[in-house]
Amino acid sequence: MSRKKRILSGMRPTGKLHLGHYVGALENWVALQGEYDNFHLIADYHVLTTQLDTSDIEANSFEMLKDWLAAGIDPDQSPIFRQSRIKEHAELFLLLSMLITTARLERNPTLKEQVRDMKIENMTYGHLGYPVLQAADIILYKGELVPVGEDQAPHVEIARELARRFNTTFGEVFPEPAPKLTSFARLPGLDGQTKMSKSLDNAILLSDEPDVIHGRLRKAYTDPDKLRRNDPGHPDICLVFTYHRRFNSADTGGIRSGCESGFLGCVDCKRICGEAIAGQLEPFREKRRYYDEHPGDLRTILADGEVRAQQVARETMAQVHEAMGLG
Ligand code: ATP
Ligand code: MG
């Protein structure tokens, strides 16, 4: 029997998830579950790269866990665990940090984007090392496929380089991981910015109620040339049309011709879009309600996932120690 390939992917617990997280990564985790052997980590150490206030990390971890389960992650098939509970992440991070130069890390385009968006003036050593810790997360489980959004692809490239560097220096232990992008690897935000993001306050959350979704969409940025209902619009540059393409795909022909002819106004177009999004999220909200009422189940899921993750992490580190002649 051939072994299934392993997926390792995680997210930072910074709160409830939005549509960008779903269509960029989470949707792929769910779709590939079964075909691959999935492991999913709650990257709580990674939160510390950009904030030292730890008061919300635990609550945010549970909110994110509920979103993962609501979207269809099956914890029996796919172990879910907190990074900080498996100490091998910290050890492998330390060892990998000897195998990469600071110049390589400074060239990371995702880091440059963060510095710009978050106006970071003095970066910590830990923040510079973000992708080294992420590489440790991935290769500790011998992850081969990493479903992520576009902004994370440069980090997976660094993980590949580190796996290769380890193997050529100390002996073959790690497979080289590859990223896996969806066709919406960078979903734009409601303000027309290139990325939907909680910190930019331009997001629709997976747990938003229909009236909230409609309210958020009403304020969304649209084609600036289409001011009145009868003005012809340009769907290809309209954000709302992007959302139609993803959440109302059966009807994009009608939306396009209505918009272009001027027959369909923006108010109605947004209402139809909101109904499509709310309809697709309804089963998520229902599942989330179950977990809101059964918080004990969440603790059991993590406890089980952490036992399974710990076992794999221990085995990998035994091979690392042997290859390096350490420990
Ligand atoms: P936020 O700014 O909302 O906190 P983030 O970029 O910090 O989002 P991460 O926790 O770093 O979110 O990312 C989790 C996963 O979701 C990553 O794989 C990331 O690429 C993906 N992702 C986040 N936002 C988007 C988006 N707008 N479109 C596509 N994928 C996204
Ligand atoms: Mg985040």
Report CA(141)–ligand 1 centroid distance (Å): 22
Beta-sheet pairing, 6-11 with 80-82 = unpaired
Q: Residue 242 has which token pair? A: 């992007």
pLDDT in tens, 117-145: 888 899 999 999 999 999 999 999 999 99
Please check whether residues 70 and 100 belong to one and the same domain.
Answer: yes
Evaluate if residue 34 carries a pLDDT over 80: yes
Do residues 26 and 68 make contact, with C-beta atoms less than 8 angstroms apart? yes
CATH number at residue 240: 1.10.240.10
Please check whether residues 43 and 146 belong to one and the same domain.
Answer: yes
Please check whether residues 62 and 136 belong to one and the same domain.
Answer: yes
Please check whether residues 53 and 150 belong to one and the same domain.
Answer: yes
Residue 196 lies in a domain: no
Residue type, 159: A
Cβ of 277 below 6 Å from ligand 1: no
Output the average pLDDT for the chain.
95
Cβ of 151 below 6 Å from ligand 1: yes
Report CA(130)–ligand 2 centroid distance (Å): 13
Please check whether residues 284 and 306 belong to one and the same domain.
Answer: no
Mean pLDDT of 261-269: 94
Looking at the chain, how many residues does it have? Answer: 327
Q: Residue 202 has which token pair? A: 């331009």
Residue 199 lies in a domain: no
Please check whether residues 173 and 310 belong to one and the same domain.
Answer: yes
Evaluate if residue 2 carries a pLDDT over 70: no
CA distance 254 to 264: 9
CA distance 5 to 35: 8
Distance (Å) of CA 46 to CA 216, 242, 298, 299, 327: 29, 31, 21, 21, 26
Report CA(315)–ligand 1 centroid distance (Å): 31
Nearest Cα residue to atom 23 of ligand 1: 21
pLDDT in tens, 68-125: 999 999 999 999 999 999 999 999 999 999 999 999 999 999 999 888 888 889 999 9
Report CA(313)–ligand 2 centroid distance (Å): 25
Nearest Cα residue to atom 13 of ligand 1: 11
CA distance 177 to 139: 8
* Per-residue pLDDT at 227: 82
* Per-residue pLDDT at 225: 83
Burial of 299 (0-12, 13-18, 19+ CB in 10 A): exposed
pLDDT in tens, 43-62: 999 999 999 999 999 999 99
Q: Point out the ligand nearest to the CA of residue 113.
A: 1
Q: Residue 51 has which token pair? A: 């904030």
Residue 21 lies in a domain: yes
Please check whether residues 35 and 176 belong to one and the same domain.
Answer: yes
Please check whether residues 255 and 145 belong to one and the same domain.
Answer: no
Report CA(151)–ligand 1 centroid distance (Å): 8
pLDDT-derived band at 198 (thresholds 50, 70, 90) equals confident
Residue 105 lies in a domain: yes
* Angle at the Cα of 102 from the Cα atoms of 96 and 103, rounded to 5 degrees: 130
Residue 144 lies in a domain: yes
Please check whether residues 101 and 127 belong to one and the same domain.
Answer: yes
Please check whether residues 151 and 240 belong to one and the same domain.
Answer: no
* Per-residue pLDDT at 1: 52
Burial of 274 (0-12, 13-18, 19+ CB in 10 A): buried
Residue 68 lies in a domain: yes
Please check whether residues 218 and 284 belong to one and the same domain.
Answer: yes
Counting the structural domains of the chain, the total is 2
Q: Point out the ligand nearest to the CA of residue 203.
A: 1
Phi-psi region of 287 (alpha: psi -120 to 50; beta: other; left: phi over 0): alpha
Q: What letter would DSSP give residue 184?
A: T
Please check whether residues 105 and 165 belong to one and the same domain.
Answer: yes
pLDDT in tens, 274-287: 999 999 999 999 99
Residue 13 lies in a domain: yes
pTM for the model: 0.95
Residue 204 lies in a domain: no
- A 10 A CB-CB count for 149 gives 23
Domain that holds residue 46: 6-187+295-324
CATH number at residue 33: 3.40.50.620
Cβ of 204 below 6 Å from ligand 1: no
